[in-house]
Chain A
Amino acid sequence: MSVFGEVPQAPPVAVFKLTADFREDSHPQKVNLGVGAYRTDDCQPWVLPVVKKVERLIVEDGSLNHEYLPILGLPEFRSAASKVALGDDNAAIQEGRVGAVQCLGGTGALRIGADFLRRWYNGVNNTATPVYVSAPTWENHNGVFTDAGFKEIRPYHYWDAAKRGLDLAGLLDDLEKAPEHSVFVLHACAHNPTGTDPTQEEWKTIAEIMKRRKLFAFFDSAYQGFASGDLDKDAWAIRFFVSEGFELFIAQSFSKNFGLYNERVGNLTVVAKDGESLTRTLSQMEKIVRTTWSNPPSQGARVVSRTLNSPELFAEWKGNVKTMADRVLLMRSQLRSKLEALGTPGTWDHITQQIGMFSFTGLNPKQVEYLIKEKHVYLMASGRINMCGLTTKNIDYIAQSIHEAVTKVQ
């Protein structure tokens, strides 16, 4: 009798199942608008030119070896990454109260932050502290905080399906009603999956309430630079919160903005009230890291670190990022015009108002099913599409397919 005889089959992770189904589909016009990875106008993955350059430098550098990194990661990477988020001249950095942990992607950064909070935040080992995630949110947020041990993961109002925009009133109400010290997972920019971000004025209101009600801000920053094409603009919300004196975490991912998806490059930036709290906090995070992966992988961090720490390479990188962001913006504008030209029922300005890789089209599950089954256009059941899957070659087919789905299926 096997000890694992009773292990039930787990459902596949939806977004990866979608890609698997797409791969098996032999239809010549099939399109994958699922997984959030950038594609060129030829629908190919894109290794950033600056990354190719730096990887060559690394291979040619005979002084490098494969020794262990420190538990908290490559120091030059951590500090440079935090600077990207907060700005070179950030006062908190200068005051010595900003630190970081190199992690495995944005996921790893969220997890280390969550594990730390469960052990040390709001009284020790307080698993009852509510963690609020936006409705909807990246599906893995729930898993990360649940597996970290939090018992109460709650939604906060975010997406208003009727008006296809931010449900500000609902959001603010949830902030007012949340128990003090609750944790709020905030998307720094390019909200996943809706592509809908608060305006600067709205962020200010959010911050005011969070400060008054003593709520903890945990930023998820997976698209800095990728949203507007401008690193500083995309970091505005984070920097505002820091300037308002918040202690906070930022889970940074370099998967998208460096195209380093499979190297797992992430950084958990910690902004504390003072250097001493920071030191103690990092020492405890070290213990958490040690039992999770001991020390992080070096390749990706080396690439990012070399790039960020060289003025020339940094400038080249910013150019690469803008290239990606600009293509997405172009596809947004073209998709909207084509749908409007087709006279597709409904309003489509949300396509250009939304920002980043994803768009919450507003298509319902039946329409999504139609698109997948009849048109071989693969997208998430939520109606989320990855704008990067659109190209000048397939955009007409996609617009036409959406038009059909909306007119034929209610």
Chain B
Amino acid sequence: MALLKSNKVIFCLGNISPSLGVLSTRNSSWWGGVQMGPPDPILGVTEAFKRDTNPKKMNLGVGAYRDDQGKPFVLSCVRKAESLIAAKQLDKEYLAIGGLGEFTKACAQLALGADSEVLKSGRSITVQTISGTGSLRIGGNFLARFHAGPHDVYLPKPSWGNHTPIFRDAGMQLKAYRYYDPSTCGFDFNGALGDISKIPEKSVILLHACAHNPTGVDPRPEQWKEIAQVVKKRNLLPFFDMAYQGFASGDIDRDAWAVRYFIEQGHNIVLSQSFAKNMGLYGERVGGFTVVCSDAEEAKRVESQIKILIRPIYSNPPVNGARIASTILNTPELYSVWLKEVDSMAKRIITMREQLVEGLKKHGSSHNWQHVIDQIGMFCFTGLKPEQVERLTKEFSVYMTKDGRISMAGVTSGNVGYLAEAIHAVTK
């Protein structure tokens, strides 16, 4: 239909201006049938924010940490690690397909704990990946090729927007289990258990290890225990996505508790890790993908197949970020600095949550905002409706995604008051 219309246009324009006859060559392009891809909803928010001239504007869209001045934060342990690395004058030879060994070892240790039986027995394999996305994609590809069970990945409702297309492009099908309860802005524990208990055996269930994205709603430890039980009963393969270890509570062991608990309970999990947020290494693309196997021999076979998957995508991973992360994880002084810095990032966010609720109360809001404090991590599912979100953007230049999600990282002591005022205005 569109092609017919454009032909007519060409015909008319051709009469007006002969040079526009060049438009007709568009039909001979290989890409005539390529549709315009929809703009990325999250990045679209940032684009609109950039165009806004209101001095009070706030960008609560993208999930990248900002300091209390609203600036990107380069961790001091990262800067230190970079100087140490620069001084070594290392070469630029290709890494192995599975990445930098000292990084993957430390990456696994960080997630599983140094005293993990899994690590001691060598029955897991960890490869370096292109941050969390790359890890999920490799995982999805691996499952699509080798998973003996149904090729269905069950995502919590809602989940990170990119999970669905990643797994789909990897060749898996997507299904969902209840997770977020909009009436409480909290965890729909009974709904989740109910749905999970009906998932067909050997399906894959994706679990956010901590700081659920986009809701910020995490199960409590007792709830995790029950989930683990049902997952075991249904014989499901748990796929953990851990993008915020350390960033959620400020404590890396606490944030990895669910992952470690599942393993202790005998689940052989697969795990994606990202160092984008907790080390602020966003653009360096640092991540890991781990498969916990029955034994070391199986782990070797699995590793060999993961390499076969990686090679035709990007051959081998980028070194820079992995070297930085490895230096931090493997240098005791830097490691302790990192623990402090990640804790301070987490604590700043927790403080902003508290200040936002205080501010709303001060303005006399009659709503219950407890969920803002109960939720954890970078994101907060405010409970705001699309119309309210639109008003926030149009009238107050506060930018966020339509689902009411705000990135707490974009909130500072300087603008939290304004935010409280704005939210109160659209909800009173």
> Which residues of A are interface residues toward B (Cβ below 8 A)?
2-13, 16, 35, 37, 44-45, 47, 51-52, 55-56, 59, 65-69, 71, 103-105, 107-108, 111, 120-124, 140, 143-144, 146-148, 216, 247, 255, 259-264, 272-274, 276-281, 283-284, 286-288, 290-300
Contact = CB atoms under 8 A, between A and B. Distances in A.
A277 B34 contact: yes
A67 to B, nearest CB: 5
Contacts of B268: 2-3
A35 B96 CA distance: 12
A55 B313 contact: no
Given A4-B298, A6-B148, A291-B162, A300 B93 contact: no
Nearest to A45: B91
Interface string B74-107: 1000100011001001011111110000000000
Contacts of A290: 40, 133, 162, 165
Contact of A263 (B33, B96, B319): B319
A395 B281 CA distance: 44
Contacts of A140: 311-312, 315
Given A68-B64, A121-B30, A293-B133, A10 B307 contact: yes
A295 B137 contact: no
B317 A16 contact: no
26 contacts: A4-B146, A4-B293, A5-B148, A5-B294, A5-B298, A65-B74, A66-B281, A104-B130, A107-B311, A108-B315, A122-B30, A140-B315, A255-B94, A262-B92, A262-B93, A263-B320, A277-B26, A277-B34, A281-B34, A284-B34, A291-B133, A291-B137, A292-B133, A294-B134, A294-B285, A300-B318
A147 B142 CA distance: 12
B352 to A, nearest CB: 20
Nearest to A258: B92
A36 B95 CA distance: 13
Contacts of A264: 314-318
B165 A291 contact: yes
Contact of B314 (A52, A108, A284, A286): A108
Interface in B129-187: 130-134, 137, 146-149, 162, 165-166, 168-170
A300 B36 contact: no
Contacts of B316: 262, 264
Given A55-B86, A68-B282, A107 B313 contact: yes
A279 B35 CA distance: 10
Contacts of B146: 4, 6-7
A147 B140 CA distance: 13
Contact of B97 (A13, A276, A281): A13
B350 interface: no
Contact of B91 (A47, A146, A295): A47
B293 A262 contact: no
B318 A67 contact: no
A105 B319 contact: no
Nearest to A70: B43
B263 to A, nearest CB: 14
A283 B72 CA distance: 27
B298 A7 contact: yes
A104 B25 CA distance: 33
Pairs of residues from A and B, 5 with the lowest C-beta to C-beta distance, nearest first = A143-B312, A283-B37, A104-B314, A294-B133, A273-B29
B300 interface: yes
B34 A297 contact: no
B10 interface: no
Given A273-B31, A297-B130, 20 more contacts: A4-B291, A5-B294, A8-B305, A12-B304, A51-B92, A52-B89, A66-B72, A66-B78, A67-B283, A105-B314, A120-B31, A216-B30, A261-B94, A263-B92, A277-B26, A278-B31, A286-B37, A291-B165, A297-B283, A297-B320
Nearest to A281: B31
Nearest to B317: A264
Contacts of B276: 68
Nearest to B170: A291
Contacts of A293: 130-131, 133-134, 137, 285, 314
B308 interface: yes
Instruction: Point out which of A4, A12, A52 has the most chain B C-beta atoms below 10 A from its C-beta.
Output: A4
B26 A273 contact: yes
Contacts of B149: 3
B312 A147 contact: yes
Contacts of A294: 130-134, 162, 285
Given A10-B308, A56-B86, A277 B32 contact: yes
B37 A284 contact: yes
A300 B298 contact: no
A107 B308 contact: no
B288 interface: no
Contacts of A148: 312
A298 B202 CA distance: 39
B329 interface: no
B280 interface: yes
A10 B92 contact: no
A69 B312 contact: no
B254 interface: no
A120 B152 CA distance: 26
A299 B94 contact: no
A8 B303 CA distance: 10
B301 A8 contact: yes
A32 to B, nearest CB: 12
Contact of B311 (A121, A143, A286, A291): A143
A35 B35 CA distance: 41
Given A281-B34, A297-B318, A274 B29 contact: yes
